[in-house]
Amino acid sequence: KPEASIKGVNINHVRRDGVEYGAKVAVSNPYSQSIPICEISFVFKSDGREIARGTIPDPGSLKGNDTTMLDVPLKVPHSVLVSLVKDICRDCDIDYELDLGLIIDLPVFGNITIPVNQKGEIRLPTLKDFF
């Protein structure tokens, strides 16, 4: 059966309405035919609190006998980020946990969910990074 792993989570964009993080997910398909992805669901937590939840309908398909890289956008409103200041001030990073569910449509078996979980840190840029 196909397997998935999260390769990284980064800050993509900072906008007026919030911050968009991006998760890079590698999904390997051992079958020769491409497999449609029906939906991706996610729960994004920081410092033990849920900061984003959502679904991405019909994100594409998995190439046959190959690994497909998926970009999963995670939008977090600024109102939630204010509550993370304590975590950010403690160590200049954001501790996170990301739970993903990739729902794929396998012929004969039907829809199956591939669960993926990762804990990590998103390091924030410092002045030293700009100079």
What CATH number is associated with residue 45? 2.60.40.1820
- pLDDT < 70 positions in the chain: 81-91, 124-131
Q: What is the pLDDT of residue 88?
A: 63
Q: Is residue 56 part of a domain?
A: yes
| CA proximity to 22, closest of 49, 50, 52 | 52
Q: Which residues make Cβ contacts (< 8 Å) with residue 98, sequence separation at least 6?
A: 6, 9, 23, 42, 43, 44, 45, 74, 116, 117, 118, 119
Q: Is residue 127 part of a domain?
A: no
Q: Is residue 94 part of a domain?
A: yes
Report the distance separating Cα 29 and Cα 20, nearest Å. 28
Distances (CA, A) of 122 to 45, 65, 66, 78: 12, 32, 28, 17
pTM, two decimal places: 0.81
Q: Is residue 126 part of a domain?
A: no
Q: Is residue 102 part of a domain?
A: yes
Q: What is the pLDDT of residue 126?
A: 57
Q: Is residue 49 part of a domain?
A: yes
Domains contained in the chain, number: 1
Q: Is residue 28 part of a domain?
A: yes
Q: What is the pLDDT of residue 66?
A: 95
Q: What is the pLDDT of residue 13?
A: 86
Q: What is the pLDDT of residue 77?
A: 86
Q: What is the pLDDT of residue 90?
A: 67
Domain carrying residue 116:
3-121
Say which residue the tokens 């609190």 belong to.
49
CA 44 to chain CA mean position, Å: 8
| CA proximity to 3, closest of 84, 62, 79 | 62
Q: What is the pLDDT of residue 28?
A: 95
Q: Is residue 29 part of a domain?
A: yes
